[in-house]
């Protein structure tokens, strides 16, 4: 399958591009193709969520083509949304970020915001969609701009009227450090990352007067947790709140029993079952459960059981 990836993705992108390049008038006569285009965009969106695929997308000129689509004035809001999501996923890979920068991604996004996001009636009416696209745009900008290349004077100007605390204060107190694994060999990048982490860990201030949610959850034995502690645990581990709603654990013992059962189960099979139930439950919200999100949940369960001195 892998040897045919270039051919498959090139065919998909070319088909969409040919459809988008037709005039707005012509597109109105091809309503039967809209569903197909929507499905193909969704396919690309999901595929590039796997960063290992992005070099292939770069090879078939996916970044430049998607940026061209973003500059078209007659697409639907959902088409724009899918394109922005695709570009965000592409930007997460070094080769993708490089290709986007080479094709003027930041300038195109600024133009998109000025011409469409702030003026197109559909975006003005749908505030949630507009806000989500803005957030993705900011995330893309953050991925494309290398902090090591920012001028120190610029950083100092930003700090004049702002006193940062915690980890942000530490990072601003010195020069920001940005490590891209794709631009050097892995061993060197890992050594640099490790040195940075250990250097800053000793500098973190400890506030003994703040009792955040994570401190509160350890005050009660795990098996005695109520829905409050469980919800807090989901939040602290960055697990989807909808996943907490889906499972509906009522106490810590139920959470532990599920974790114990999961260790003797094929997690991938469990993911497939949970994914189907999850997406059925949140069908109206059009929510999906990715493998990354489920793995994060499984990993947190393992750590929880380890802390409870149970072999997982």
Q: Report pLDDT for 312.
A: 39
The yes-or-no verdict on residue 258 having pLDDT over 50 is yes
The yes-or-no verdict on residue 84 having pLDDT over 90 is yes
The yes-or-no verdict on residue 206 having pLDDT over 90 is no
How many residues can be counted in the chain?
A: 312
Using CA atoms, how far residue 138 sits from 87, 88, 142, in Å, is 12, 10, 6
Sorting pLDDT into bands at 50, 70 and 90, what band is 13?
Answer: very high
Q: How many CA atoms lie within 13 A of 274 on its CB side?
A: 23
Give the range among 143-147, 236-240, 267-271, 287-291 with minimum mean pLDDT.
Answer: 143-147
Sorting pLDDT into bands at 50, 70 and 90, what band is 158?
Answer: very low
Query: How far apart (Å, rounded) are the C-alpha atoms in residues 193 and 190?
Result: 5
Question: Can you give the residue ranges of every domain in the chain?
Answer: 2-145, 149-201, 213-307
| Cβ–Cβ under 8 Å, residues 233 and 225 | yes
Mean pLDDT taken over the chain: 76
3-state secondary structure of 210: coil
Q: Report pLDDT for 261.
A: 79
The yes-or-no verdict on residue 293 having pLDDT over 60 is yes
Q: Report pLDDT for 68.
A: 93
Sorting pLDDT into bands at 50, 70 and 90, what band is 100?
Answer: very high
Sorting pLDDT into bands at 50, 70 and 90, what band is 14?
Answer: very high
Q: How many CA atoms lie within 13 A of 79 on its CB side?
A: 22
Stronger pLDDT, 141 or 82, i.e. the higher one? 82
Residue 153: CB partners within 8 Å, gap ≥ 6?
Answer: none
For the domain made up of 2-145, the CATH class stated in words is mainly alpha
State which H helix or E strand residue 265 sits in: none
Stronger pLDDT, 173 or 274, i.e. the higher one? 274
Return the DSSP state at 207. Answer: -
| Cβ–Cβ under 8 Å, residues 60 and 90 | no
Number of other residues whose CB lies within 10 A of the CB of residue 183: 11
Q: Report pLDDT for 25.
A: 52
Query: Which percentage of the chain shows pLDDT scores above 70?
Result: 70
The yes-or-no verdict on residue 264 having pLDDT over 60 is yes
How many angstroms from the chain centroid is the CA of residue 137?
A: 12
Number of other residues whose CB lies within 10 A of the CB of residue 14: 13
Q: Which of 178-187, 204-213, 267-276 has the highest mean pLDDT?
A: 267-276
């Amino acid at each position: 399958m892998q040897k045919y990836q270039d051919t498959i993705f090139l065919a998909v992108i070319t088909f969409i591009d040919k459809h988008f390049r037709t005039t707005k008038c012509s597109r109105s006569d091809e309503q039967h193709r809209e569903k197909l285009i929507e499905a193909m965009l969704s396919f690309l969106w999901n595929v590039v969520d796997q960063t290992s695929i992005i070099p292939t997308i770069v090879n078939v000129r996916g970044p430049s083509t998607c940026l061209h689509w973003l500059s078209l004035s007659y697409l639907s809001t959902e088409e724009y949304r899918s394109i922005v999501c695709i570009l965000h996923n592409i930007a997460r890979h070094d080769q993708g970020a490089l290709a986007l920068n080479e094709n003027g991604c930041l300038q195109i996004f600024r133009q998109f915001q000025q011409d469409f996001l702030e003026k197109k009636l559909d975006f003005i009416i749908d505030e949630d969609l507009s806000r989500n696209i803005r957030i993705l745009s900011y995330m893309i900008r953050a991925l494309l701009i290398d902090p090591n290349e920012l001028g120190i004077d610029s950083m100092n100007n930003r700090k004049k009227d702002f006193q940062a605390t915690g980890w942000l204060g530490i990072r601003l107190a010195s020069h920001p450090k940005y490590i891209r694994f794709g631009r050097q060999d892995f061993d060197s990048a890992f050594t640099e990352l490790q040195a940075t982490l250990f250097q800053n860990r000793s500098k973190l201030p400890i506030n003994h007067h703040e009792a955040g949610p994570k401190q509160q959850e350890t005050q009660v034995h795990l098996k005695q947790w109520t829905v409050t502690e469980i919800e807090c645990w989901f939040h602290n581990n960055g697990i989807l709140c909808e996943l907490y709603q889906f499972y509906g654990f009522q106490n810590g013992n139920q959470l532990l029993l599920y974790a114990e059962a999961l260790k003797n189960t094929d997690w991938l099979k469990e993911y497939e079952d949970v994914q189907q139930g999850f997406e059925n439950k949140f069908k109206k919200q059009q929510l999906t459960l990715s493998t990354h999100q489920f793995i994060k949940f499984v990993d947190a369960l393992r750590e929880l059981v380890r802390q409870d001195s149970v072999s997982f």
